[in-house]
Copies of this chain bind each other. A is one copy, B any other.
Amino acid sequence: MSDLPSTVRIMEVGPRDGLQIEPKVLDVADKLKLIDALMAAKIVEIEVGSFVNPKAVPQMASTAELVAALPEPASATRFRALWLNARGLDQAIASGRVHVDGKLTLTASETFSRRNTNRGIEETLAQMPDWIARYRVAGIEPNTLGLMAVFGCNYEGEIPQERVLRLIERTVQILADHDAQLRHVSLADTMGWANPLQIKRMIGSLRERWPKMDVKLHLHDTRGAAIANAVAAMELGVAEFDAAIGGLGGCPFADHKGAAGNVCTEDLAFVCEEMGIATGLNIAALIEAARLAETLLGHPLPGKVMKGGLLNRPAVSF
């Protein structure tokens, strides 16, 4: 396990990816309570919502209002939001309160791309130059790719690794054609298909081809392998993960309602700290935030550490 990173950075996506599948729509005040609790646990990046069609995702309808009401961030806290079209990006920039990076998004499954974004893969690639131009106008360097459904798709089945590499290669090329460079890739296991061996093969191939590229993972725990997948990635040096408090979430457009959601923030932070990998997070406070999320939503969440408790290490050994 020699490539284990010394620190891991966890971006909290509970208020966005975590809440969007929830039938109970939280109001702005409740979302702010949850964000406060996350900040108290020393989370330094929080995706607070998405600037998307409110009819498609009612839970996110209040994002503009929420963003306007965000607390002045503690020096280390960065708020983020998601967008899928130019209007969403404009709203994010106009808010002045969320950090906007030059992220292009793409989906490795044609069917899921159409269902989730109303555009196929080729059309999405063809629009990348427009996105690059938009970011440039706003003074933002386009250097990031978010790739969804990388490890498998409920509609299409397995996603060949070669396709994923080809899509990254095409993005690298499009950016290069515009004098930009792809520096960060976020791979999303949107529908919870990944296994640790597949993770290692994928990350290994990326490292071989683009040794300097930062790799981030967005994992779902649909079939219980998310922590194992995160550990597999850490063994190859991956040090950035999205996660949701209490294991909130899931994807409303995927085909398995009731399934487990994102990899659980406090469970991931716990296993990191136990392996000697610093997260900077206060896990006891994360557990409080997870309990608050349960209270706000009115149902139990799948997180394990919040039920199993922290490890009790008595000062005096027997």
Contact = CB atoms under 8 A, between A and B. Distances in A.
Contacts of A260: 304, 307-308
Contact residues of A: prevailing secondary structure: loop
Contacts of A200: 1
A222 B304 CA distance: 6
A224 B312 contact: no
Nearest to A259: B308
Contacts of A143: none
A256 B111 contact: no
Contacts of A307: 256, 258-260
Contacts of A225: 227, 267, 270-271, 274
A257 to B, nearest CB: 9
Interface stretch (A31-39, A46-54, A151-159): A151-159
Given A231-B231, A317-B157, A308 B274 contact: no
Given A157-B317, A308-B192, A197 B276 contact: yes
21 contacts: A154-B312, A155-B318, A156-B314, A156-B318, A158-B317, A193-B311, A196-B271, A197-B275, A223-B270, A224-B227, A224-B270, A224-B304, A224-B308, A225-B227, A225-B267, A227-B228, A228-B271, A255-B312, A258-B307, A259-B309, A260-B308
